[in-house]
Structures are given as structure tokens and as C-alpha cells.
Amino acid sequence: MTKHSVLILGARSDIGKATAHAFAALGHPIQLAARNASTLEADQTDIALRHNVRVSLHEFDALDLSSHAAFVEHLPELPETAVCAVGMMGEQAQNEHDLEAAACVIRSNFEGPASILAVLANRFEERGHGTLVGISSVAGERGRATNYVYGSAKAGFTAFLSGLRNRLARKGVHVVTVLPGFVATKMTEGMDLPAALTTTPDHVAKTVVDAVEKKRNVIYVKFVWRLIMTVIRNIPENIFKTKNI
């Protein structure tokens, strides 16, 4: 793989940091983008020293859509690969009664990520090459009572990535959709996750790097999730609506 710059959007997240390390380990310069980016200086130094690559910090707010074009314009160089690890789960019970909280979950998982990738997609298309990676979720494959606000936002993001991939396939730009399933991160801390269905940020990161290198399209980080979601998607609605899945 040619050594090119990689932009990590949502670089404060566990998946974002792991992905930065995975690309840096291969010699790629890294651009870390997050809110309050200066607080990532320790991570910047760690990645730079550990992997002997150039690492820069960039202030980025996924929810400030009006700032996205300027953010991309002011990057020191347009990256060859951009990985969007922006997202938040929120609490379903709260989201059912607090519409502002629900809106924040939807904007964090769909509107913000779609906006910044749309800006990057246009620039990549003009240039004629590049790879966009979106971290979505298996939760978006069917709405379930336990997390349908988060899941609906991820469903929108998955559909956006699919359309973007279809649009750009003949333009030299590749789009990767990553569906991790359960991941042991700060976002899922305290949740009782089944070990057989749970992966780690490092495993997600390695899967992302492999997908970029091999130009894969839709990736289930653990294959078992492809089987599980195939079953869940095909349960008839009159049965599904009565189940607690």
C-alpha cells in the first residue's frame, strides 16, 4: 500500500484511535480530527513516536455542518483515505421522551457523518481517487425497540454510504461500509455484551485497513453478524413486532 495521508474523523473514539495506530503502523501520515483537538496531543505524540510518522491535529465538529467545507479546505493536504468514526449511542429510554437527545443521536450518527463525507466525496471525485470509510452498525439493519433511534440513524448512514459508493464507483473513489456489531469501547462500557459477538477496537481497525487495501465494500467485522442479521431481516413483521430481540 502506498504511504499516503489518512484522515481520522472522530479521532477521540476508541475505534478512531485504534484505526490511526493501524494505518500509522504501515507508515501512513495521520490527520487526527475531533472536537477540542488539542487534548489529543498525547495521542499525537504517541502515534508519531511509536510509528515514526507525521501526525497532525485538526479541530472538527461533526455537528457544525456549516464548518465542514472550510475544515476540508484548511487541511494541510487532502488525504487519500478518510475514516469516519463519529457517533454516539445515547440511551433509548431517554431518546423516547427527550426529543433533543434523540435529535443529537440522529445528527451524530447520520447527519454529521454524511455531511463531512459528502464534502470529502466531492473533493475526491474532482481529484479522481481516494477512499472513504464509514463506521456504521448492524443496528441499522432493522429497527428494534431497544435501540431504534440509534439504529435508524445508522440505517440512514448505511444507505448514504451505499448510494455514495454507487455514485463514485466509476469516478476512481471507493467507499467502504463497516458494520462492527458489539465493540468493547467506552461507549459500551457497563453493557453486558456476549463475548462471542463482541470485538475490540484493534480488530475493527485491522479490518478497516484490510478493507481499504483490498477495496472491499460492506464489511461485517465478525462474520457471525452477517448470519444473525440475515435471520433478523427475514423475520416476518407480524412475528417480529411481538419479539424482544
Query: Is 216 exposed, middle or buried (CB count within 10 Å of its CB: 0-12, 13-18, 19+)?
Result: middle
Q: Which of 150, 157, 220, 225 is catalytic?
A: 150
Beta-sheet strand order (sheet of 81-84)? 55-59, 30-34, 6-9, 81-84, 130-135, 173-179, 218-220
Look at residues 90, 79, 170, 143 and name the one whose alpha carbon lies nearest to residue 116. Answer: 79
Identify the bridge partners of residue 132 per DSSP, sorted by sequence position.
Answer: 82, 175
* DSSP conformation letters of 94-153: HHHH-HHHHHHHHIIIIIHHHHHHHHHHHHHHHHT-EEEEEE--GGGGS--TTTHHHHHH
State the Cα–Cα distance between residues 106 and 61, nearest whole angstrom. Answer: 15
Residue 220 a catalytic site member: no
Could you list the active site residues?
A: 150
